[in-house]
Structure 1
Amino acid sequence: MSSRLKDRMRQDRRQALFGNSPPPPRQPAPYPEGEIIYRCNDRYIVRHGDSITKYTTNPDGMGANDHPNEELALRFVKAHTTIPVPEVISSDWDRITMEYVEGQTLQQAWPMLTPDQRSDILAQLSDYIAQMRALGGIYLGRLDGQGVVVPCIMTRSGGPFGTLVELHDWLVQPPKRLQIQSMYWHQITAQLSTEYPIVFTHGDIASRNIIVRDGRIVALLDWEFAGWYPEYWEYVFALRGMDNVDWETLGRYLPSLFTKRYDLEYILMRLILTLY
């Protein structure tokens, strides 16, 4: 891939995430040394002793603010729910250091779990989802005031929004949409209610983000996108992630973890995501 094309792709991603208000230039501190236990593009997780540091080498860091949304989300969850999450040690604009939680991902552990252990884990997860959904918000966006995030190949952010109408209008206005298709996309968003409650949402529930030990959930990880979203959002993106990654592990059980199914919203959102 040519350097010009790479630069163009970086600019497109930056525009999709920050619009015309990108973060100012910032100088990273030295990156921590230790065992790299995860790497994906410019994202790293390094273990050092009983702690891990999650950091990015992206010049925009983990968002527009001085500290990542994930730090605020972890502290919020610990204060308002019984959901097990890692203890935050410190953070900066491009990193967050947390306690290391010993265990396996649910994706790794699932084949070895007994039927009773699987049932217990699903019951735990259902309770955690219910606790999150009991927390209501007054705007649509991340917990730290940044906009909503649509995780996709071209991850996109917009808002925050004051109403569901604003959110739904924005969802169908990415660059790929043709103006002559306006009525088509209007018909899709017209099927999405404007009366959904706004609830606290993890935004990326998947078996790779669930740590288990001795047949119990000991941590729910990756709160980067967490915030206030319409009540269907968790269902839609959790089911979408399971379709793509681990349907047999957790995906086919996922609808039963919610008190209400959002299958129409799932179908409509999958259509909308073809624009990205």
Structure 2
Amino acid sequence: MSRVLTAEELERAINLLPDIGTVKKNDDNTILKVGSYRLSEAATMQYIAENTTIPVPKVYGSYKDEKTQKTHLVMEYIEGDCLEDVWEDFGLEKKEDIISQLKRILDELRSLEETPRGPYSSEEEFSQGIIDTLLEKEATAFPRLVCEMVQDILKGHKIVLTHGDFLPRNILVKDGKVVAILDWEMAGWYPEYWEYTKIMYRPPYLKSWFKDGMVNKLIKPYYAELAVLMQARQLIW
């Protein structure tokens, strides 16, 4: 049964992210995520819970408030430390163990059989969407060159389930174990390079976990695809 929080519960909920104001702790077992999120995030988490051993919070309810038009996700509160906050405190052996756990999680996620759903039915359509967006911005010589790069490089990949924001800020650890993968808002079925390129979208060069080479230990690098998408992003955004 889907749980809907009362006005009193919403009022007394403790804000866990004061700078953002979207995640609140309702009680010892429940948190509330409020904002312009997709209801599909809850469906994705339920799918992951039912089909994998990947640790995700239980979803108790998801709904859109008719008055505010904000999405409400009621989820299990999981005790743990944000990996980004504690990474520097770990020794080499513990870091390698955490990386090994995360690699198994990503491998399991990417091994799921594809469940076709929109907005694109194939990698070809996905790449064409990038091309169309580029040409809408500016159909001059350089954007056309980037479009040719997209056509040549962004093809022939498997479609895999992708988290879309697989960064230490969305990973909880406790007693040396990964206890939760959070923030599935950007998840979906994408070409296999997408997870890597999303992690590298704005490379956190100064973060210790990045300097430790964590990314390439977690997932196969897709350098050519990354280079093409970096060029495309500069033109689009």
Point out the more displaced range, 246-255 or 71-80: 246-255
Q: 2:209 aligns with which of 231, 235, 249?
A: 249
Partner of 1:272: 232
Alignment of 1:141-220 (within 5 A): 145=117, 160-174=119-133, 177-181=137-141, 183-220=144-181
1:129 equivalent to 2:106? Answer yes
1:99 equivalent to 2:76? Answer yes
Partner of 2:31: 52
Instruction: Describe the SS at the equivalent of 2:46.
Output: helix
Give 2:114's aligned amino acid.
G
Q: Percent identity?
A: 27
Instruction: Describe the SS at the equivalent of 2:34.
Output: strand
Partner of 1:238: 199
Partner of 2:41: 70
Contact 1:136–1:197 (Cα < 8 Å) also in 2: no
Moved over 4 A (4+): none
Shift of 1:121: 0.5
Tell me, in whole angstroms, the C-alpha distance in 1 between the residues paired with 2:191 and 2:25: 35
CA deviations over 1:83-112 (Å, ceiling 9, x no partner): 111111111131101111111110111121
Q: CA RMSD in A?
A: 2.3
Give 1:76's aligned amino acid.
Y
Shift of 1:70: 1.1
Partner of 1:118: 95
Contact 1:138–1:198 (Cα < 8 Å) also in 2: no
Partner of 1:109: 86
Q: 1:81 aligns with which of 52, 61, 69?
A: 52
Question: TM-score scaled to structure 2, two decimals?
Answer: 0.84
Contact 1:70–1:224 (Cα < 8 Å) also in 2: yes
Question: TM-score scaled to structure 1, two decimals?
Answer: 0.73
Partner of 2:183: 222
Bigger proportion of residues as helix: 2
Instruction: Describe the SS at the equivalent of 1:190.
Output: helix
The runs of 5 or more residues in structure 2 that have no matched partner are 1-5, 65-70
Give 1:177's aligned amino acid.
K
Instruction: Describe the SS at the equivalent of 1:225.
Output: coil
Tell me, in whole angstroms, the C-alpha distance in 1 between the residues paired with 2:125 and 2:178: 37
Instruction: Describe the SS at the equivalent of 1:191.
Output: helix
Count of residue correspondences: 220
The runs of 5 or more residues in structure 1 that have no matched partner are 1-28, 140-144, 148-159
